[in-house]
Amino acid sequence: MAVLLAGGAGYIGSHTAVELINSGYDVVVADNYSNSCPESIKRVEKITGKTIKTYEVDIRDSQAIEKIFVENDIDAVIHFAGLKAVGESVQKPVMYYRNNIDTTLSLLETMSKYNVKNIIFSSSATVYGEENPVPYFETMKRGVCTNPYGWTKAMMEQIFEDAAKADPELSVILLRYFNPIGAHESGMIGEDPHGIPNNLMPYVSQVAVGKRECLTIFGNDYPTADGTCTRDYIHVMDLAAGHVKAVDYIMNNNCVEIFNLGTGVPYSVTEIVQTFEKVNGIKVNHVYGARRDGDLAECYANADKAYEVLGWKTQRNLEDMCRDTWNWQKNNPEGYGR
């Protein structure tokens, strides 16, 4: 029984690989390393003591991925493979639509050909758009996205729902992630962004380690308690555990389900910086700057459904997230060194 992790060498995929292996699943990884490198999987092998079958392949290439389905007994696919930088998606929308939609289509086509009926998809809280009030519930309609990246997620959700309607045997779980941060407790795997980080936590940790001068906090005039935006930060290992629960569920239920994977608790940007400093005993130089285009004041989940249906809830708090991020960053100041 094997789970194919498409895009499995990336940040969330590599942590999920650890949790799946530790839960007794065999995993097969397919990645073109456009935003990762083979070293992450080598480290997963060290952490778990298991050898992982890995394919260097572009998931859009249907012919190339057929080999994976021929050579392995794939029971379920988790589709992590996508481009994810919001700003870049505004600059290069066609590249984002081409990559993200095409990976989805070739996976669905190939799964159909080889009679694989279970797929779990990495969606995002961004699909709730601007209209829905927080906290977000899975029953809310998808909203109007603020950028092409978000639209690719909304479109892919629609594609999966349509595919499942046409093939009642196809089971689909759409996981809407909130803000994953942190790293495996060992400090051996973690988030390794190319160039200047877009996301808050890698920026914070790179300032702390001396790679960047100063964090700019985007806006302190939002209608929140301290004026900075709030988000639902979730430890990546809790997120990984959520995938294991989703795999357990999809193996035993013919379903089309959406789950929020978040803690349900919002923290502000200032709280993140202060907690990181306190837990790790290190200063993070920061200044307050202008708002970033497209940012919402608040974004957090109602995470009850994942608990009620999957029996999943988060185990780690913000201190754990800040400690584990720093443990990874200080042990790997250059990330995987790619």
Residue 240 CA to residue 87 CA, distance in Å, equals 26
Smallest distance from ligand NAD to CB 154, Å: 12
User: Does 285 contact ligand UDP by CB under 6 A?
Assistant: no
With CB under 6 A as the contact rule, the residue among 4, 28, 163, 200 that binds ligand UDP is 200
**Of 53 and 282, which has the nearer Cβ to ligand NAD?**
53
Other CB atoms within 10 Å distance of the CB of residue 210? 8
The whole-angstrom separation of Cα 107 and Cα 61 is 9
Shortest gap between Cβ of 89 and ligand UDP (angstroms)? 12
Q: How far apart are CA 61 and CA 110, in angstroms?
A: 10
Question: Quick check: 4 binds ligand NAD (CB under 6 A)?
Answer: no
Contacts of 184 (CB under 8 A, 6+ apart): 15, 18, 47, 190, 236, 237, 324, 328
Of the ranges 76-84, 134-142, 280-288, 293-301, which one interacts with ligand NAD (CB under 6 A)? 76-84
Pair of tokens at residue 214: 């100063």
**C-beta of 121 vs 149, nearer to ligand UDP:** 149
Min dist. Cβ of residue 269 to ligand UDP (A): 5
Q: Which of 3, 4, 5, 12 binds ligand NAD (CB under 6 A)?
A: 12
Picked from ligand UDP, ligand NAD, none, the partner binding residue 198 (CB below 5 to 8 A depending on kind) is ligand UDP
Tell whether residue 208 is a contact of ligand UDP (CB under 6 A): no
In the complex with ligand UDP, the residue whose CB is nearer, 293 or 319, is 293
| Cβ at position 231, least distance to ligand UDP in Å | 5
Question: Using CB distances below 5 to 8 A depending on partner kind, what does residue 203 bind out of ligand UDP, ligand NAD, none?
Answer: ligand UDP
Nearest residue by C-beta to ligand UDP?
A: 229
- The catalytic position among 11, 149, 177, 222 is 149
Q: Please identify the residue of the shown chain whose CB is closest to the bound ligand NAD.
A: 10
- Cβ proximity to ligand UDP, 55 vs 151, nearer residue: 151
312 binds, among ligand NAD, ligand UDP, none (CB under 5 to 8 A by kind): none
Decide: 129 and 146 in contact? Cβ < 8 Å: yes
Dihedral angle sign, alpha carbons of residues 145, 5, 56, 163? negative
Among ligand UDP, ligand NAD, none, the one that 31 touches (CB under a kind-dependent 5 to 8 A) is ligand NAD
Counting contacts by CB under 6 A, is residue 177 touching ligand NAD? yes
Q: Which of 54, 46, 48 is nearest to 2 (CA)?
A: 54
Contact of residue 218 among ligand UDP, ligand NAD, none (CB under 5-8 Å per partner type): ligand UDP
- The answer for 227, left when phi > 0, alpha when psi is -120 to 50, beta otherwise, is left
The amino acid occupying position 209 is V
Of 177, 221, 184, whose CA–CA distance to 199 is shortest?
Answer: 177
Q: Is 149 a catalytic residue?
A: yes
Choice from 203, 300, 312, 326 touching ligand UDP (CB under 6 A): 203
157 binds ligand NAD (CB under 6 A): no
Residue 24 has φ and ψ, to the nearest 5°, of 100, 5
Write out the residues near ligand UDP by the rule CB under 6 A.
179, 198-200, 203, 215-218, 229, 231, 269, 292, 295, 299
Residues tagged active-site: 149
Write out the residues near ligand NAD by the rule CB under 6 A.
7, 9-13, 31-36, 58-60, 80-84, 99, 103, 122, 124, 177, 179-180
